[in-house]
Structure 1
């Protein structure tokens, strides 16, 4: 660490950068004192003797764990590479980085261009071994602190979930009451809509058939007005996603579940990218408490429903589906089989009079025809045997010059 009298004039002639960051949008809105203290570092830079002071606050509301891009930090690194930055000011090391990769990369660049790192405790020169060691320890403590905080929060959430007291987001048809906890939505129309889906599935045994039946009845299903909170609803035509999500959700069977999904991490462009919401197999859920709350169905019916859905999805023996899954084009062509057979009979009748060759490539007086012609004709319902004979007659007249 160095004092003011040891800052060289070449460093003071360059620009000082104040880096401002808060981890979440909630902190940006609520933790105003921390934000104010970071902006006050501009005065600290001027007291150290810098005349040109710049503020980088592009990363307000962005985490420094390395999981997301930080355009402000990238701009800071680019400025260091140009050699125009003489000092980087931060409230503490955790504002600059919460992961060792970014922190040590920044220190390496500061050491190459002889830039200083300044916080409320003093000035650090990364070129000096003792300062570099102290900065390295500060970065490690910052990264370790983040891991400790995350672990404590997750452990507390799991412990509360094992007792069934963690207030998870509930599906449509349930609501958290302030006085007596979790219960059914008091809106009877919402309850009736959900019960109707389960009753139709008992009757039809297929989620797709339930959708077709409800659509025929002009059934409308509630959807949150804001897209997330189940406070107010818009009633819209039912969709397959609504039907299958209700049938597959164990919450409607009175079961409290925690840990149904997991996060996955992959390396993209040298950075860790985390994605959430990946479903886990049934036996690997963290918490499953039966008879936790009032359900629309019981647990045994839920298990039967899952068995029916699994059988239908894979076309197994005894399922509702009539056959294995086929691409959409193939399913559409299946409806054209009667038409193709009728047109085929017409073509064969014409072939007997026009001396056609086998079906795939044949020769008539009207010229050569292929399977392409067969498909083209088969998709025109106006073609009949007399139309084909008329086409042969037109070919004869054209060939005779009449």
Structure 2
């Protein structure tokens, strides 16, 4: 009704044989094209018929959990939300978030919720989304130059059209000023009331001419000072345009839906690969295989160069000195943060990088207690030998635990 159409026969009755008797049921909706009566432009509507059809198609594809339904791009962190179909059960993959900060995951859990069966598949979006993004860029690259030329032409036409409209406005203002002048000149001077009113109209028309001239001059100066966007440069560097910080996920999702109809996902557990079959607009298909990370593997790994620096400095410098060195070298943690003594210590514990040479129990270096036990004396006596300079030791920092070389215990002075 709100689209200006009259419709009749949108539902039908059905007859079924139940227990040997005919049973009728009413209110079954019929497809849009099978309605008995549909009179368009029957009355004045709130929207036109084309907008109504566009709304209905959008509502249809946004229908959740229906066959063929694809949710529109609404933003979020997952690029492929609503586009992935399970290659095993045919249902839509949903998006879940895990961790802090949250990371998106794609999973087929409908069969688990409905039939209590194991989930078909689960995989993260950290590798899938960039791979699809590269496929999109490779697909649109051949048309990028043509689109850049069209965008440049549209930009120039827009500027010319705006200037032309302002010039027409100025021309109209000048005509009205000339008309007001002729009316004032044709007025009887003795009729002072009419003459005063015509003079005000003339002055108002002249002020409008001055305003239009100033606006046109200012617009030309501003447009001349603003550099024309480098559309050709954007065409040659689509990846930078795709990854620009001012381009949100919703914009990327909408661009993806203009090129892709559906993506069928499957997981090869033996090869540890995610298999994506992309159905492009127009009927073309392409397949993409992406390695699935092993359990415990993630993309926030500490750089190997930072671990190498840590291993070389651990037994001679404190965690604070190591953190300061890594920061001066411009290295960051796996999460892109700067280093602190606490983070260095935690990472040393995870990778079993000992901070003292005596921690390596190979007999070359000993702690103060181990040295006292080997000499058969108390730790207080060994401390006196160190204080008197008889027994040499090493310390990472002052007041840190003493590290004693085992060979030094065999000296005659000791």
TM-score normalized with structure 2 length: 0.21
TM-score normalized with structure 1 length: 0.22
